[in-house]
Amino acid sequence: MTSLDSYLTLGRSGLRVSPLSLGTMTFGEDSGWGSNPETSQAILAEYLDRGGNVVDTANTYTNGHSEKIIGDFFASRSGLRERVVLSTKFFANLHPGDPNGGGAGRKALIAQLEESLRRLRTDHVDLYWLHGWDRRAPIEETLRALHDLVTAGKIRYVGVCNLPAWVTAQAQTIAHLRGWTPVTALQLEYSLLQRTPEGEQLPMAEALSEGVLPWSPLRGGQLAGKYRRDASAPADSPRAGRLSGPTEREWDIIEAVARVAEEIGASSAEVALAWVRGRPAVTSTLIGARTPEQLRANLASLEITLTPEQRAALDDPSTPSLDFPADITAGPGPMLGFGGTTVDGVEHPAWPMLLASSARY
């Protein structure tokens, strides 16, 4: 059992964050399924009162309304802003027709930050996230602009979201070689229904000392316990209703979660969140809520500790099929390199295609 104020260090930095971060894509009703400003601020207040300290938004969330709701909240509470790790994201173009309104070029990202700061009613953000991959902007340009913003005191740390692993690795290498602000953390989709980041993204994050903040740990509500094979879209979840229905394999995973939840007397959402929170490389898991009740249900996952047997019951049906070379590096690779020996406590069987004594020629 843990709590929101059991803080963790984010990547290779001095920044401490809660094990659950408050995602605010639901703040504002502009998209047709979020919360009004009063409810949004009630959710934010309860999260902070419970000891949470990470508030995550983006310039594109409800067309900037999410940032404004957050900014208005902190503006009315003197001194609270500095007690919070406030993060937002850039990349989305909020000015259709303007080719420099979005993306990751210097002009675009600086302009986006200034607009976010205005809506958030603050002079800096603690984490500034690149929200997507701009294939046309040189990564050096993006990194140098972000470093200049750190130097200017307008941002504190840099993160990336939804980038290919090789792009993140390239960015981190360039930042270190040039003495620029490094990538402290990454956001990616990760849940029992989306485990493919285990092929490249998560091993990269561990190797580069980057903190991981998974988003959509309940896969749009599909792991929240409301889905059944005969009624895949809950009537009270308009956003989830837009998602395609689970596949047969995904139904097997959803039902495995439900069985573990029943066994320990918890909800499926609590079990699914506890599973993500306990995965290697994960620092803080992003949760979202449209109501205070949903927030409380998500926070209850902090009281869950899964046994090895329960984790195995969830791991087995959800084990992903990974792209090359993950299938080799996880299995035949160590066998080929260390076959017939025990290294770092792991016993590796002999490579079957080699003879008993292979060095014969």
Active site residues: 61
Token pair of 185, please? 């953390």
**8 Å CB contact between 253 and 318:** yes
Furthest C-alpha separation in the chain: 79
Contact 267, 293 (CB under 8 A): no
Integer CA distances (angstroms), 185 to 9, 54, 115, 197, 267, in order: 11, 13, 23, 15, 29
Work out the burial of residue 24: count CB atoms within 10 Å of its CB; fewer than 13 is exposed, 13-18 middle, 19 or more buried. buried
Residue 97 · residue 64 · CB < 8 Å: no
Of residues 188, 187, 189, 191, the one with CA closest to residue 315: 191
Which pairing describes strands 16-17 and 8-9: parallel, antiparallel, or unpaired? antiparallel
Provide the 3-class DSSP secondary structure of residue 106: helix
Distance CA 95, CA 106 (A): 16
Residue 337: CA atoms inside 13 Å, Cβ hemisphere, count?
A: 8
Query: What is the amino acid identity at position 339?
Result: G
